[in-house]
Structure 1
């Protein structure tokens, strides 16, 4: 046991040391760090102020933002300019809260006859086009005439009077592909245009193509959040491409400045003097108090310690609560060092990329023990990404199911990046095999597809029984091994589902084409949202078509819409993959119809009418074992029509949909 006199002496010494350093370092706090000054928000004269993650080249230092977020100023418009894919885009507005910016092609703003010459390519950039857009296609120097029955927008001054240039909305191009002279044109450029839907096209009929281009569009970006740093009086920046919080007294590697980092005010010297004097007075009073207190305790200790048993336990550790929570969270999960995973992935070699998404990139790696792994590297080590990281670890650690991907471990809290280490599933994703680079009809017969559906449903049923909603069910998140066994992956958007609630109110997240419309409309997430998304996967298995394809006719861009319309109109056969043998194999025909009927029920707009995942899994298992069969009313499969289905708003559901 430590004698009280030792505690007092040590405490007194620490107080004196603190006061000494406080007085010594006070003058340094009166001058701002040069990097903090350099990253003051700037503007181009008009438009939004520019701050992290952007920086104005020539007006702000490059360390004030990320390399791919450099902007310039348009001297004429006095607006910031973003350069992408060989085109300049004027930025009219920036929302740092929603991480979005409204842009318009610079040619459309300063040229009376603008001619964008490059398609917008966002591959390997931190930007993506907001879904609220449609493509306006511009065809240059066409030798053939455009058809009279399709609305076109002439490019009046294209520079070549003998040939014709015009604009047309992309949906019209696909709808009239055989008539449009796109093959006889020298160049075709697609330009995104903000719109609430294809119905807006009617509003554009009275516009010129210049007016259409001036509507612009919205870009979203992914980068480290600056909220905490700004709130603490700092300014965000980078150091060797890594995020730092630039504080008045110097950069901090964490997200906030300490309380004494806030910018000094005009009376700072007076306040520092008062604070120092108060500190000395407080120290003196505290010293007297502790001296008297410990003298009494020492006397009591000397008279009583011989009568007490020796206390072998020490004081609690001085670990911060954050570290304790992190250690508690990661119990049973192996912690990998950054260097170990860097070596396993050959320094995160781009050639080892397995895929990427909104939150990170996945790399193939090989550990020293010979195991092949998939290393998920989250894009930025900021608050939002750290929350994602903790969410995945917490959920995956407690889950054990043969059709769920296994988590081997993750990077330690001290790692420079947030990294997750999963088992490596070697045969790609379901999307790859259905309509991607590995698509091969002979490798995915209907019996294999039905097996995939059953195993995926089994994994989702297990998640729902564990009160977890996957929230991003899609064919890209269904991994396949060499025997086409399912491993459902990517729980980055999963949330622990409260047992005492029927839904969770939250902003819609997920992948276009798979998002539950009821969730998108009411912001109410439930396990029926996964049921809807899984139904889209079922229709992918039946059709081999992607969930979203903007080259399809308007009503068929979303596969879910196409499926509902085809089933209602007794035309399911039109969207079934011909390689499945739907027209020649009775068993295939029966089971495809039964699965489509089940998917139809799962796609109902009213979530309360959809079956639960438990029923979906049981029904699929019966279909797999018996050819078809459930309580559902399936049409005579020997007739030419695929099946008879009622309207999705009036269908009678014959199961407990809770």
Structure 2
């Protein structure tokens, strides 16, 4: 029997009126009638088991029975919730809580781990970025970037573009992709790139530079940045944020003079093209030696360093070994650099570099243009190299034995004159060689036979003719004015 029991709630205050509470209690009869249902109870085992009130009314095994004022009530055990009056009515709520708690803990742990990874990555990135910035600043100062900025500060247009960032060059070359390599040599590797202003450039990544030469390098960069000559490859700027400075030049698309000269087959560049290219090279060297703000010696003149554009116009390149000479000096002592076969013998012997060292290298290149023989591999039957053999045959009047047949057929009466210029350039004693300005003027005259014949007096008195070439600061100004008037630069 279930009976409702009423009672007063004494938990009142002055502000509250008494409340009536209603609760339920199960009244069990005491006349033994409950025994009729014992055998049907889930806990009955057929023995002497006594059925308790909990067995009769609290059907859920996870419940407990409590006696009230007149009867009994059921409630689920701690950790369970539900209806204790039916079988299985009390459900375990702890496992749901634990599972939920585990899910929350797992999600929180995962999120925390991800956050820690992100924080660690950010700290690492900031540290690497800061370290890279510090390293760039170190290299910039080590490479005398401040000196370069001072040297070009008087020309705002140059100062703005001369110093190029490493990030810009990485973008220009796809992080110096090997597929962007144009070639390499003794002074470094050259990459093709496109700057943000869409200029196509050649980026030279030099090999290690001796620290004591950094000041000279920066001065050369500053000087070359101000040279504007149609036959000198234009220098856009440099990057000083790496251990060795990177140089950025205009890109010349048609390869080198070496590539065009030494091709398979009997025919190569025409004689007129060869003579014009030689003259343009002479013009550029004369400009570097005597017209530039400070005289510059290239120190590595050879066909591989003469670039050709789409119209086969010569562009002197690769100033990696170049040096400048103060105006109050005629040369400087430095370690020998250059390419065997083109190196000035006196420079190799004394380590004293002068502008006449470039004259010698140019003379070797001129002989190479006339013979299509490579000076670093040629050896005559008598054991002489290309220069000595050419000079001997010229003195004997037997140049036909060594000249390129194409030159023989196309050169006409200018062959002897060009050969004489070449032989004068490669004289053993530097003071006996002509200057590049004299060579330029003689080549200009040789390309105009009418003018050449009409000025025989100048030719006869030329240092090239008599073999007693003077230095650039000593030879007859009257001679140069006379030639310059007919062959202006």
Alignment of 1:21-170 (within 5 A): none
Is the alpha carbon distance of 1:503 and 1:384 closer, same or farther for their aligned partners in structure 2, counting shifts above 3 Å?
closer
> In the TM superposition, what is the alpha-carbon distance from 1:365 to its structure 2 partner?
1.3
Partner of 1:653: 467
Partner of 1:594: 417
Is the alpha carbon distance of 1:419 and 1:450 closer, same or farther for their aligned partners in structure 2, counting shifts above 3 Å?
same
> Aligned to 2:399, which of 572, 576, 581?
572
How many residues are matched? 322
Partner of 2:272: 447
* Contact map agreement 2:191 2:204 (CA 8 A) in 1: yes
> In the TM superposition, what is the alpha-carbon distance from 1:325 to its structure 2 partner?
2.2
> Aligned to 1:339, which of 155, 158, 167?
167
* Contact map agreement 2:370 2:404 (CA 8 A) in 1: yes
> Aligned to 2:283, which of 445, 455, 458?
458
> In the TM superposition, what is the alpha-carbon distance from 1:569 to its structure 2 partner?
2.7
> Aligned to 1:508, which of 336, 342, 367?
336
> Aligned to 1:563, which of 390, 393, 396?
390
CA separation in 2, counterparts of 1:419 and 1:386? Answer: 12
Partner of 1:622: 445
CA distances 1:333-386 after superposition (whole Å, capped 9, x unpaired): 523222221222222222322222222111111223332110001234762674
Is the alpha carbon distance of 1:322 and 1:342 closer, same or farther for their aligned partners in structure 2, counting shifts above 3 Å?
closer
CA distances 1:474-520 after superposition (whole Å, capped 9, x unpaired): 11111111111011111222222122222222232211111111222
CA separation in 2, counterparts of 1:619 and 1:323? Answer: 42
Q: Secondary structure at the match of 1:374?
A: strand
CA distances 1:537-566 after superposition (whole Å, capped 9, x unpaired): 11111011112106665734x321221122
Alignment of 1:48-447 (within 5 A): 324-331=146-153, 332-333=158-159, 334=161, 335-380=163-208, 383=211, 386=214, 389-411=217-239, 413-415=240-242, 418-435=245-262, 444-447=269-272
CA separation in 2, counterparts of 1:468 and 1:542? Answer: 27
CA distances 1:576-605 after superposition (whole Å, capped 9, x unpaired): 11123x1x45xx131122100111111111
Is the alpha carbon distance of 1:378 and 1:653 closer, same or farther for their aligned partners in structure 2, counting shifts above 3 Å?
closer
Q: Secondary structure at the match of 1:336?
A: coil
* Contact map agreement 2:387 2:426 (CA 8 A) in 1: yes
* Contact map agreement 2:432 2:469 (CA 8 A) in 1: no
Q: TM-score, normalising length from structure 2?
A: 0.60
More helix by share: 2
CA separation in 2, counterparts of 1:406 and 1:424? Answer: 9
Q: Secondary structure at the match of 1:487?
A: strand
CA separation in 2, counterparts of 1:555 and 1:255? Answer: 54
Is the alpha carbon distance of 1:417 and 1:561 closer, same or farther for their aligned partners in structure 2, counting shifts above 3 Å?
same
Tell me which structure has the larger Cα radius of gyration.
2
CA distances 1:409-464 after superposition (whole Å, capped 9, x unpaired): 221x33465211100011111111112xx567655100011100110000011011
CA distances 1:605-650 after superposition (whole Å, capped 9, x unpaired): 111111111111000000011176565579xxxxxxxxxxxxx9xx
Instruction: Output the aligned Cα RMSD.
Output: 3.2
Q: Secondary structure at the match of 1:597?
A: helix
Q: TM-score, normalising length from structure 1?
A: 0.45
Gaps spanning 5+ residues in structure 1: where? 1-251, 257-318, 635-647
Gaps spanning 5+ residues in structure 2: where? 1-133, 475-489
